């Protein structure tokens, strides 16, 4: 097993776990505000804005960590290869192996992440819709991470 990839994977799991905890805390604090409306969004308190910023930041960071480090490392370790592979091919292979529950779900969350990365004042309605969808589907997003985590733990237990 490639020690560098294994170390990257362990670090990615720790990072994603930290983000998961922060997302869930922010989500709990924001729960009374959802589903959001444009009116509610435009009248958020500073504290609510901070919680929303935390949620968006942690979601974005976790999505990036999973896409840039976690999934490529798992793929490299399972396939025992360090050859470059297109990310979509990695996702499809991980879905086939049961590490990733759904490539389509992953792509939805990537699109949500991209929508939230561009904060246009005239796009308040789109931002509110994106946030509502994100909150509605956050359990599925966290589930993508947890499925990968449990699958990896199961594979490592089988090797021991």
**pTM of the model as a whole:** 0.94
Question: CB of 112 within 8 A of CB of 133?
Answer: yes
pLDDT at 51: 98
pLDDT at 24: 97
pLDDT at 159: 82
Low-confidence stretches of the chain (pLDDT beneath 50) = none
CA-to-CA distance for 30 and 8, rounded, in angstroms?
Answer: 32
pLDDT at 87: 97
pLDDT at 120: 65
pLDDT at 28: 97
Residue-level length of the chain: 160
Domains with residue ranges and CATH for the chain: 3-159 (1.20.120)
């Amino acid at each position: 097993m490639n020690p560098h990839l294994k170390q990257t994977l362990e670090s990615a799991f720790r990072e994603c776990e930290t983000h998961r905890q922060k997302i869930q805390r922010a989500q709990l604090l924001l729960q009374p505000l959802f589903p959001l409306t444009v009116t509610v969004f435009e009248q958020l308190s500073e504290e609510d804005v901070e919680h929303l910023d935390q949620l968006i930041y942690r979601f974005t960071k976790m999505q990036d960590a999973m896409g840039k480090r976690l999934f490529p490392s798992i793929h490299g370790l399972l396939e025992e290869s360090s050859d470059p592979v297109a990310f979509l091919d990695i996702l499809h292979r991980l879905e086939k192996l049961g590490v990733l529950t759904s490539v389509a779900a992953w792509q939805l969350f990537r699109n949500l992440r991209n929508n939230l990365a561009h904060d246009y004042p005239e796009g308040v309605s789109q931002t509110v819709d994106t946030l509502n969808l994100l909150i509605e589907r956050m359990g599925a997003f966290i589930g993508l991470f947890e499925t990968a985590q449990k699958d990896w733990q199961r594979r490592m237990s089988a090797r021991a």
